[in-house]
């Protein structure tokens, strides 16, 4: 499926969402290693799509889709699937995956802030392991943009590094997370340190206020670890 240019111009004062933040994921080497480091698993993607009720005809948008596994699995079950990412390298990898698996999703070189969805209201918008790339002020704008893509009652799914521990315990909790890194392969200790220092993960209660203010009602929340959160929301 050819790519379409679906960006709307942003003012000069807008956040530079195409500039790399934190851990380098944009180089050819980083993209080639990404699925192994991240533990990308099409079976897990299928399980998530089942949970979100994605079937043939569902219109799904995955924001910051990376190497595109979720989008490709959605397309393979007949969904109208859109993958959006600011990284040319990531999209190329995603396109190659789609071609290999004979799937035809729509790909968009665009960001959380400048993606202008024109293909009709979405039933499901997802974003995983990526919203932390934006500072909080811009996360709110990204969530407003994401909510606007959804039909009323449509589902917004978010998974990310989000902190649910008591702020008084921050040093100990983060050190514990960093110390546990790299024990099962994947990203390194230095990657985790860079994440904390240079990326913009925030507290769960901050994010929850943003979701509500974007017009999204939180239907379920889960904190499988004090450093990670999952939200399923419905657009009001
Ligand atoms: C850690 S990866 C997550 C990829 C994928 N969602 C996954 O779960 O494997 C973060 C992705 O966010 C993308 N990204 C960073 N900033 C972005 C932005 N402002 N808008 C859209 N994508 C962005 C990066 O290019 C990268 O592909």
Task: List, for residues 110-153, the tens digit of each pLDDT value.
Answer: 999 999 999 999 999 999 999 999 999 999 999 999 999 999 99
Q: What number does the ligand 1 atom closest to the CA of 159 have?
A: 8
Q: What is the pTM of this model?
A: 0.97
Residue 182: which region, alpha, beta or left (left: phi > 0; alpha: psi -120 to 50)? left
Nearest residue (by CA) to ligand 1, atom 18, is 111
pLDDT at 117: 94
Split at pLDDT 50, 70, 90, the class of 184 is: low
CA of 130 to the centre of ligand 1 (A): 5
82's tokens: 């859109």
CA of 217 to the centre of ligand 1 (A): 24
Site to probe by mutation for ligand 1, drawn from 25, 30, 64, 201 as the one with most ligand atoms within 8 Å of Cβ, is 64
CA of 65 to the centre of ligand 1 (A): 6
- Percent pLDDT > 90 in the chain is 85
Ligand 1, CB within 6 Å, residue ranges: 17, 25, 38, 40, 63-66, 85-87, 90, 111-112, 128-130, 133-134
pLDDT at 185: 65
Split at pLDDT 50, 70, 90, the class of 187 is: confident
CB neighbours of residue 187 within 10 Å: 18
Q: What number does the ligand 1 atom closest to the CA of 15 have?
A: 19
Residue partners of 152: CB distance under 8 A and separation at least 6: 235, 236
CA of 37 to the centre of ligand 1 (A): 14
In terms of Cβ atoms closer than 10 Å to its own Cβ (0-12, 13-18, 19+), residue 186 is: middle
Taking only the tens place, the pLDDT of each residue in 157-174 is: 999 999 999 999 999 999
* Sequence ranges of the domains in the chain: 28-235
180 compared with 114, residue with greater pLDDT: 114
CA of 90 to the centre of ligand 1 (A): 9
Taking only the tens place, the pLDDT of each residue in 30-61 is: 898 889 888 899 999 999 999 999 999 999 99
Split at pLDDT 50, 70, 90, the class of 24 is: confident
Split at pLDDT 50, 70, 90, the class of 204 is: very high
At the fourth CATH level, the homologous superfamily of domain 28-235 is Vaccinia Virus protein VP39 (3.40.50.150)
Taking only the tens place, the pLDDT of each residue in 63-101 is: 999 999 999 999 999 999 999 999 999 999 999 999 999
The CA angle 74-78-79, to the nearest 5 degrees, is 55
150's tokens: 């959804």
CB neighbours of residue 164 within 10 Å: 18
Nearest residue (by CA) to ligand 1, atom 23, is 64
Backbone angles phi, psi at 67, to 5 degrees: -80, 0
Taking only the tens place, the pLDDT of each residue in 4-13 is: 778 999 999 9
pLDDT at 4: 75
E strands of the chain, at which residues?
A: 59-63, 80-85, 106-109, 122-128, 150-161, 216-225, 228-235
CA of 57 to the centre of ligand 1 (A): 25
């Amino acid at each position: 499926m050819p790519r379409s240019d679906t960006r709307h111009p942003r003012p000069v004062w807008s956040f530079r969402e195409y500039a790399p933040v934190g851990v380098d994921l944009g180089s050819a080497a980083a993209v080639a290693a990404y699925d192994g480091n991240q533990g990308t698993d099409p079976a897990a993607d299928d399980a998530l799509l089942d949970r979100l009720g994605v079937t043939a005809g569902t219109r799904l948008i995955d924001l910051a889709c990376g190497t595109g596994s979720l989008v490709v699995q959605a397309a393979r079950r007949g969904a109208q699937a859109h993958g959006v990412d600011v990284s040319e390298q990531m999209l190329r990898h995603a396109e190659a995956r789609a071609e290999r698996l004979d799937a035809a999703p729509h790909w968009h070189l665009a960001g959380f802030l400048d993606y202008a969805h024109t293909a009709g209201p979405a039933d499901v918008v997802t974003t995983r392991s990526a919203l932390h790339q934006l500072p909080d002020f811009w996360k709110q704008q990204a969530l407003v943009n994401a909510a606007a893509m959804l039909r009323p009652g449509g589902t917004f799914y978010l998974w990310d590094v989000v902190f649910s521990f008591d702020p008084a315990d921050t040093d100990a909790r983060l050190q514990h997370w960093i110390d546990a890194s790299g024990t099962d392969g994947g990203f390194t200790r230095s990657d985790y340190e860079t994440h904390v220092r240079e990326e913009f993960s925030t507290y769960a209660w901050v994010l929850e206020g943003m979701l509500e203010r974007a017009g999204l009602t939180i239907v379920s929340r889960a904190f499988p670890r004090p450093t990670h959160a999952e939200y399923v929301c419905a657009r009001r």
